[in-house]
Amino acid sequence: MNQIAKITPITINDDEIKSILERQQRAQIARRANFDCAARIAQLNRLSETIKRFEKDIIAACGADFRKPSAEVKLTEIFPVLQEIRHTTRHLKKWMRPKHVGATLGVFGTKAQVRPEPKGVCLIIAPWNYPINLSLGPLVSAIAAGNSVIIKPSEVTPNAARVIVQIVQEAFTPDLVAVIEGDAAVAQRLLALPFDHIFFTGSPVIGRTVMEAAAKNLASVTLELGGKSPTIVGPSANIKMAARNIVWGKFANNGQTCIAPDHVFVHRDIAPTFNAALQAEIGRIYGKTPEAQKATPDYCRIVNARHFSRVRGLIEDARAKGAQIFQGGQTDVTQNFVAPTLITNVSDDMNITREELFGPILPIIEYVDLDKVIDRINAAPKPLALYIFDKRESFAGEIIARTSSGAVGVNLTVIHFLHPNLPFGGVNNSGIGAAHGEYGFKAFSHEKAVMEEKHSITHMLFPPYTRLVQHLINTVVRVLG
């Protein structure tokens, strides 16, 4: 097993942080006139080339930080960023083009357009669970929109953070993109500064802190949060397909995924068959015993001892309160190993029903009445994702219409994240704003309204408000209002 390297983040004081920000602010003003589409694409292509050169380093870093399989690193860390760059460079010219808007009768004789412009200097605070993807993915959108950026990677994955530093230093000048390492105290110091936009990925609890800090400087925010993403398996589901997709979506990255299925509602008529299918799929992918699951190179680990203790505590709490663990539950503190765990007989007093699990634990809840499931989902904070498995379109359609969530996956899990033409984001507790593709470009852009006088007659309504002018105003209000 790879051991986590002892890396100490580069220390930086407040004066140095302020100096980096001020340098980017000055450069941002100077760059506005010449950071055109071609220049932005050139920067993004340079980032793409640099990521490819650092592929082995990225794989080694993620392996050292939490034993992430190399194939999983390529699929979930590297590919999404490279795809984002490829998609963005193909469409950026269109996204940047001013959009002309038609005039209404009230402003007849004017010409108007909407111009996207950079917000300015942006802060990206990235999480540890997908450290490369969720640092450099938002960076693509920020650069495409013409901004300067400071990235604060997570200190929980120090090896990945160091690779991010190396990639950024090779791909960009520090007046365009800089990386500042450090712990939560450094993040708080950054949040106190007057950034133009803050892009944060993390928990709803910390998201509230970020939003509160941003409000002091009236900075706009994109908050990619999480929560408990429910899954509903209907009585007409393709059980083999459902098991395959749920097991992969849940246990990839050891369950440390914000859009992983958090818990499953399965119809009572198919519950025994579905549970057996989950067990069979876990055995096929990761091995049928804890020893095999420890030995396979395809199973990630909990990121550190603190999170391991939290996940193990969830299992122990559920077991003590009467839950039935019919698959997994084994742990090994020496490896931060938690076996793929399936739990039934879940009750509301268990911590697994209240907390976002963010680990390889999957509660299975049987249901008969779909209305009660929908009521339960609607009574909870709005999830980042909702997954539905059933062969009937009407079944999925009813659930989609009656619930609110950041996204919905029908007969699939997680992979909607990879669709560059879909907005990725939550709603309320699960997030604010959206990322990816044109949605990410807009998140980092200000849509500036530009209006030009051509041959309008609105001046006829200006004061002094003579009897004639008042008559004209009354006519406008009556006819056009």
pLDDT score at 9:
55
What's the whole-number mean pLDDT along residues 109-133?
Answer: 97
Q: What is the pTM of this model?
A: 0.95
Residue 140, pLDDT above cutoff 70: yes
Same domain, 206 and 276: no
Number of domains in the chain: 2
Decide if 475 is inside a domain. Answer: no
Q: Are residues 74 and 221 in the same domain?
A: yes
User: Long-range pairs for 213-218 at CB < 8 Å and ≥24 separation?
Assistant: 213/188, 216/192, 217/193
Q: What is the pLDDT confidence band of residue 8, given thresholds at 50, 70 and 90?
A: low
Mean pLDDT of 106-133: 96
Cis peptide before 261 (omega within 30 of 0): no
Stated as kind and residue range, the H or E segment containing 184 is helix 184-191
Q: Residue range 177-198: average pLDDT?
A: 96
Catalytic one among 84, 224, 366, 438?
Answer: 224
Euclidean distance between CA atoms 285 and 304, whole angstroms: 24
Q: CA-to-CA distance for 371 and 377, rounded, in angstroms? A: 10
Tokens 């969830």: give the residue: 314
Pair (215, 152) in one structural domain: yes
Instruction: Look at residue 4 in the predicted model and tell me its pLDDT.
Output: 42
410 belongs to a structural domain: yes
Structural contact between residues 113 and 448, judged by C-beta atoms closer than 8 angstroms: no
Catalytic residue among 62, 122, 258, 300: 258
Tell me the average pLDDT across 26-32.
93
Q: Is residue 150 part of a domain?
A: yes
**Structural domain containing residue 383:** 230-425
Q: Are residues 94 and 237 in the same domain?
A: no
Residue 105 confidence (pLDDT): 87
Please state, in angstroms and rounded to a whole number, the distance separating the CA atoms of residues 316 and 90. 50
Cβ atoms of 296 and 61 within 8 Å: the answer is no
Across all residues in the chain, what is the average pLDDT?
A: 95
- What pLDDT is stored for residue 33 in this prediction? 84
Same domain, 68 and 204: yes
Per-residue pLDDT band for 32 (boundaries 50, 70, 90) equals confident
* CATH code where residue 387 lies: 3.40.309.10
pLDDT at 2: 38
My answer on whether 162 and 300 are in the same domain is no
Helix (H, G, I), strand (E, B) or coil at 470: helix
Q: Are 145 and 444 in contact (CB under 8 A)?
A: yes
Task: Please indicate, yes or no, whether residues 108 and 124 belong to a single structural domain of this protein.
Answer: yes
Pair (419, 437) in one structural domain = no
> pLDDT tens across 374-403, in order?
999 999 999 999 999 999 999 999 999 999
Neighbours of 463 (CB within 10 A): 6
Angle CA 306–310–316, to nearest 5: 140
Region 192-197: what's the mean pLDDT?
A: 97
DSSP-assigned beta bridge partners for residue 148: 121
Alpha-carbon gap, residue 147 to 166, rounded angstroms: 20
**Local structure of 222: helix, strand or coil:** strand
Whether residues 200 and 186 share a domain: the answer is yes
pLDDT at 225 over 90: yes
* pLDDT tens-digit map of 279-326: 999 999 999 999 999 999 999 999 999 999 999 999 999 999 999 999
Q: How many residues comprise the chain?
A: 481
Cα separation, 70 vs 299, in Å, equals 10
Determine whether 37 is an active site residue: no
224 belongs to the catalytic site: yes
